[in-house]
Amino acid sequence: MSRIGVIAGSGLYEIRGLTIKKNRTVTTPYGRPSEKYVIGEIDDTEIIFLPRHGKHHGIPPHMINYRANIWGFKKLGVKRILSISAVGGIRKGLKPGDIIILDQVLDMTKNRQATFFDGKDGVAHIDFTDPFCPELGKAIKRAGVKSKVTLKKGGTYVAVEGPRLESASEIKSFRILGGDVVGMTGMPEASLAREAEICYAGVSVVANYAAGISRKKLTVAEVMEAMKGTTGNLKKLLKAVFTMIPDERKCACKDALAEAKI
């Protein structure tokens, strides 16, 4: 049976269709993960699910214990994580409700514990040329075709500190830098997963036009509404992804530390 971790954010706090086997509280050297991990099955895949903001969305993006969350997955033997998140759309043509596969990162976060290697356990510089696992990304693209869920490609994710939304000028500058979408949780989640030698792929739901892209004031209700509207498509996509993951990992993620440590 293959196994995959799923970490999700705003608007997705459970996976419907999941036959839950158990909930696991996990302790880590970095403190407590956001929530108990829900372990269950869909078809022939074991799913380990974690809502990154907690079950009742009590943890804001800048307070998430990213290290504990990723460490917890590692401790549970997870080798691949599929990340679902809500984002603001920056690129022209992206609209609320669109689903996009992420392939690059611009990290604008400021105050986060972003590494497992802070000196005590040595020093490591992982390769992050491709922040998202290409093998897992390929499986998601194929799942999009199979489930007939349209996926936008070419997603450069700008990670911001939050919890406030951005100014129009910030979004304008991110667009000039090549940012396609903006969100608050993708980093350091992606790089910690790489340090843990876990494959990590990101699928984002465009919840709103980023600041200044449309004239409308941004509201949380709008974000939640867009997420709710795409749940059906996300569910279809996830179900298809679970059947498309190859048993053996052939990507470089599994050996990320091999030439990274000093």
Q: Which positions touch ligand HPA (CB under 6 A)?
A: 86-88, 160, 165-166, 182-184, 207-208, 210, 223
Amino acid at 110: K
Nearer to ligand HPA, 51 or 88 (CB): 88
In angstroms, what is the minimal distance from the CB of 184 to ligand HPA? 5
Nearer to ligand HPA, 105 or 245 (CB): 105
Measured in whole angstroms, how far is the alpha carbon of residue 58 from the centre of its chain?
18
In angstroms, what is the minimal distance from the CB of 165 to ligand HPA? 5
Nearer to ligand HPA, 78 or 203 (CB): 203
Q: How many residues does the chain have?
A: 262
- Give me the residue label for tokens 């079950």: 55
Q: How far is CA 157 from CA 74, 117, 192, 246, in A?
A: 24, 24, 16, 26
Q: How far is CA 154 from CA 29, 163, 187, 202, 227, in A?
A: 36, 26, 18, 12, 21
In angstroms, what is the minimal distance from the CB of 168 to ligand HPA? 11
Nearer to ligand HPA, 81 or 207 (CB): 207
Nearer to ligand HPA, 101 or 223 (CB): 223
Contact between 36 and 24 (Cβ < 8 Å): yes
Closest residue to ligand HPA, judged by C-beta, is 88
In angstroms, what is the minimal distance from the CB of 108 to ligand HPA? 10
In angstroms, what is the minimal distance from the CB of 236 to ligand HPA? 22
- Give me the residue label for tokens 């693209």: 141
